[in-house]
């Protein structure tokens, strides 16, 4: 079993005791109660004059192990927002990434106090509508859909749930076949993961190959392996509108300075 399959199997087991039907009406009602201020997630990544950065709060990962296990999610997200992050990504998986849903709730609550809140994605392994409901109740503006991990029926159901909840969906792909599947579901926000989720090897050439094949109306995100301004410039040259950066920012002595360098690339 490769690592992604292992994680997805665990996620289904983790959720088993709280699964129940989640109709569109319940998702829409939850969205109406939240009514967040500020731009939506995809909207925040349309910067005509440069490269956007989705800054990620990530305490650990299966590939890197512990990164910053004790970091306070709110403090880290605040540092990102102060440095000009266009959007935030908050890991809510506990077993593999050291996160929790409460991290997202606290980050969103803190952002709500700002004059211009920065929107956040719930970064997790989505397999059921109950996770979409949890995301909207926590204040997320977007969910992640990993195309490799889901069949088309599940993608359709989760995407429809996100739309009912007023959330954007970031479709994560790794190659041309997965891009074709995402586009068949009318994806308008697509990220290319430069990390192979089966082996965890990184190669920025994945984004360079796949991003140019996306239609102009798609918001294009390069994910993983972006460490320097040179890497960011390389992704921008490939056509990326935004970067999703986690480990590099989490390890940086001054994450705000690195974020500004990436954003200016």
| Catalytic-residue membership of 160 | no
Question: Which among 89, 134, 148, 172 is annotated as catalytic?
Answer: 172
Q: Is 56 a catalytic residue?
A: yes
Query: Is-catalytic flag, 32?
Result: no
**For the CA atoms of the chain, what is the radius of gyration?**
17
Residue 205 backbone dihedrals phi, psi, to 5 degrees: -65, -20
Q: Catalytic: 196?
A: no
Among 105, 178, 223, 247, which one carries the catalytic annotation?
223
Distance CA 100, CA 90 (A): 9
Catalytic-role residue among 78, 123, 148, 220? 123
Instruction: Catalytic residue, from 11, 56, 78, 247: name it.
Output: 56
Catalytic entry in 194, 207, 224, 248 = 224
First to last CA, the chain: 38
Work out the number of other CB atoms within 10 angstroms of the CB of residue 46: 12
Cβ pair 248, 58 in contact under 8 A: no
Kindly give the residue spans of alpha helices, DSSP state H, lying in 83-124.
101-111
Paired strand residues for 53? 243
Nearest to 124 by CA among 182, 210, 57, 40: 57
Write the CB contacts of 119 (distance below 8 Å, at least 6 apart in sequence): 36, 38, 39, 40, 41, 44, 87, 88, 141, 142
Q: State the catalytic residue, choosing from 61, 89, 193, 196.
A: 193
Residue spans of alpha helices (H) in the chain: 3-15, 24-34, 41-44, 73-82, 101-111, 129-138, 152-164, 176-184, 205-210, 229-238, 247-251, 255-264
Q: From CA 170, how far away is CA 190, in angstroms rounded?
A: 6
| 172 among known catalytic residues | yes
Given 58, 78, 148, 220, which residue is catalytic? 58
Active-site positions?
Answer: 56, 58, 123, 172, 193, 223-224
């Amino acid at each position: 079993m490769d690592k992604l399959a292992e994680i997805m199997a665990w996620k289904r087991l983790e959720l088993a005791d709280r699964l129940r039907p989640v109709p569109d009406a319940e998702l829409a009602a939850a969205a109406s109660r939240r009514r967040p201020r500020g731009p939506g997630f995809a909207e925040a990544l349309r910067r005509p004059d440069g490269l956007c950065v989705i800054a990620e709060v990530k305490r650990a990962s299966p590939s890197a192990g512990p990164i910053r296990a004790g970091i306070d999610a709110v403090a880290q997200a605040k540092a990102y927002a102060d440095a000009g992050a266009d959007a935030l990504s908050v890991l809510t998986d506990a077993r593999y990434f050291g996160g929790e849903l409460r991290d997202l709730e606290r980050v969103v609550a803190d952002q709500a106090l700002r004059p211009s809140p920065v929107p956040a994605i719930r970064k997790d392994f989505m397999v059921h509508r109950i996770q979409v409901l949890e995301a909207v109740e926590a204040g997320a503006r977007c969910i992640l859909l990993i195309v490799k991990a889901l069949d088309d029926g599940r993608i359709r159901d989760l995407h429809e749930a996100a739309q009912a909840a007023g959330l954007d969906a970031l479709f994560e792909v790794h190659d041309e076949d997965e891009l074709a599947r995402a586009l068949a579901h009318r994806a308008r926000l697509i990220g290319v993961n430069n990390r192979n989720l089966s082996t965890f090897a990184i190669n920025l050439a994945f984004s360079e190959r796949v991003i140019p094949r996306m239609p102009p109306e798609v918001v294009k995100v390069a994910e993983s392996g972006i460490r320097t301004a040179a890497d960011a410039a390389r992704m921008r040259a490939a056509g990326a509108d935004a970067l999703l950066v986690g480990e590099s920012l989490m390890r940086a002595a001054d994450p705000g300075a690195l974020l500004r360098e990436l954003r200016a690339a």
